[in-house]
Amino acid sequence: MSDTARTVAGRAFTVADTHPGRRISPRGSAFDYAFQALCFAAATALLASLGGVLISLAIGGWPVLSKFGFGFLTGKTWDPVRDIYGAAGPIVDTIITSLLALMLSLPIAGGVAFFLTELCPSFLRRPIGTAVELLAGIPSIVYGMWGLFVFAPVFAAKIEIPLMGMAPPGSIWETLLSGIPNGSGILSASIILAIMILPFMAATLRELLNTVPPQVRESAYGLGATTAEVVMKVTLPYVRRGAVGAVMLGLGRALGETMAVTFIIGNSHDFPKGLFDSGATIASTIANEFNEASGLQASALIALGLVLFVLTFLVLALARLLLRNPEG
């Protein structure tokens, strides 16, 4: 064995020696260079288009940003008639609905993923897995229509009206549960968002849990750990980094989701007073008004797009930061 290796090395050396200055390229190397060049081009094109988006958003939003400055982020008035634009309402609503959606869907997504990898009988694994992936393929307008015409009436009758009736007058609950009880509003939008980001997070988490080597998991079971203990103490810590990534992907999708939210959130630019009150996210405001906008209003909508871009970037940066200090 070592003899063969030596011979091969010797032969290579001889060849290189007799033709100095000429490199030996393995067969198919031309394709390899092309492949590398293509990959490089793809990566740089992505970076360039991202930069292009950022620059064109900044240019398009400049008239409004220069006119209102920091007030664009803190102002509460959105008045297309008088050309006064403050985006505080949509920014706050975007963050509230996305976080609520994450809080609602993370436990379920985790449950689905753990069930599929740890508990599910193998004949059920494939159908449930496929169902989760199919959910991810439903267009968002369908979620919006379903939310408005099917979910909202039921939600109003079964959840909103009873809850509002139960809230003690004068308590914080009364404020929190205030709004128009017709199934639209902040909480409804968050629930629809949660359903929409669920399949992404569940599918990614499942893939992650599948990467845990069977030996690790089996050793834990072998030591007498229960399923819950294996999940909490062994597999989850093993995939922690990836799991944060999956959650951030879900959050990113929730931040930018447009159509479904537009249908159900109630589209009011004021700060919401309660969970059932109307709101408006950044994406829904753009979707609502961009078609007919011109002048400063169009600029304000583009500036909103820039804000969303930065917000998403901050979320990703935060995710990176969390991953960098595993002890923290």
Partner 1 sequence: MIKTIAAGLAAALAITSVASAAAISGAGATFPAPIYNKWAETYKAKTNNQLNYQAIGSGGGIKQIEANTVDFGASDKPLQPADLEKNGLVQFPTVIGGVVPVVNLPGYKPGQIRITGRVLADIYLGLIKKWNDPVLQSWNPGVRLPNLPITVVHRSDGSGTTFLFTSYLSMVDPKWQAGPGASDAVNWPVGQGGKGNDGVAAFVRQTVGSIGYVEYFYAKQSNLTYLTMQNRAGRWLEPTAPAFAAGAAGADWTKAPGFYLLLLNQPSPTAWPITGATFILMHTRQTNPQAGKEVLTFYDWAYKNGDAEASQLDYVPLPASVKALVRKLVWPKIDGPNGKPVYP
60 binds partner 1 (CB under 8 A): no
291 binds partner 1 (CB under 8 A): yes
Which has the closest alpha carbon to 63: 272, 302, 254, 305?
302
Backbone dihedral region of 178: left (phi > 0), alpha (psi from -120 to 50 degrees) or beta? beta
- Binder to partner 1 among 182, 207, 234, 309 (CB under 8 A)? 182
* Helix, coil or strand: residue 266: strand
DSSP assignment string, 72-112: HHH---EETTTTEE--HHHHHHHHHHHHHHHHHHHHHHHHH
Shortest Å, Cβ 195 to partner 1? 19
165 binds partner 1 (CB under 8 A): no
Shortest Å, Cβ 279 to partner 1? 9
In sign, the C-alpha dihedral spanning 289, 255, 192, 176 is negative
- Binder to partner 1 among 156, 246, 248, 319 (CB under 8 A)? 156
Q: Which is nearer to partner 1, 243 or 286 (CB)?
A: 286
Q: How many CB atoms lie within 10 A of CB 307?
A: 20
- What's the rounded Cα separation, in Å, for the pair 199 and 113? 10
x-marked contacts with partner 1 along 211-240 as a string, rule CB under 8 A: ------------------------------
CB-based contacts of 121, cutoff 8 Å, min separation 6: none
Are the CB atoms for 265 and 189 separated by under 8 Å?
Answer: yes
Shortest Å, Cβ 178 to partner 1? 12
81 binds partner 1 (CB under 8 A): yes
Choose the binding region for partner 1 from 32-40, 49-57, 81-89, 163-171 (rule: CB under 8 A).
Answer: 81-89
* Helix, coil or strand: residue 185: coil
Q: Which is nearer to partner 1, 91 or 220 (CB)?
A: 91
267 binds partner 1 (CB under 8 A): yes
325 binds partner 1 (CB under 8 A): no
CA distances 110 to 115, 120, 235, 325, Å, are: 8, 14, 12, 23
Site for partner 1 in 85-144 (CB under 8 A): none
Q: Which is nearer to partner 1, 113 or 265 (CB)?
A: 265
Q: Which is nearer to partner 1, 200 or 263 (CB)?
A: 263
149 binds partner 1 (CB under 8 A): yes
- What's the rounded Cα separation, in Å, for the pair 151 and 154? 5
Are the CB atoms for 116 and 128 separated by under 8 Å?
Answer: yes
In sign, the C-alpha dihedral spanning 13, 19, 21, 27 is negative
Are the CB atoms for 64 and 153 separated by under 8 Å?
Answer: no
Q: Which is nearer to partner 1, 89 or 252 (CB)?
A: 89
- Binder to partner 1 among 128, 180, 244, 296 (CB under 8 A)? 180
268 binds partner 1 (CB under 8 A): yes
Count of residues that bind partner 1 according to CB under 8 A: 35
x-marked contacts with partner 1 along 2-41 as a string, rule CB under 8 A: ----------------------------------------
74 binds partner 1 (CB under 8 A): no
CB-based contacts of 242, cutoff 8 Å, min separation 6: 204, 208, 211
282 binds partner 1 (CB under 8 A): no
* CA–centroid distance for 319 within its chain: 12
183 binds partner 1 (CB under 8 A): yes
**Using CB under 8 A as the criterion, which residues of the chain lie in contact with partner 1 when the complex forms?**
77-82, 84, 148-149, 152-153, 156, 180-185, 262-263, 266-269, 278, 280, 284, 287-289, 291-294, 297
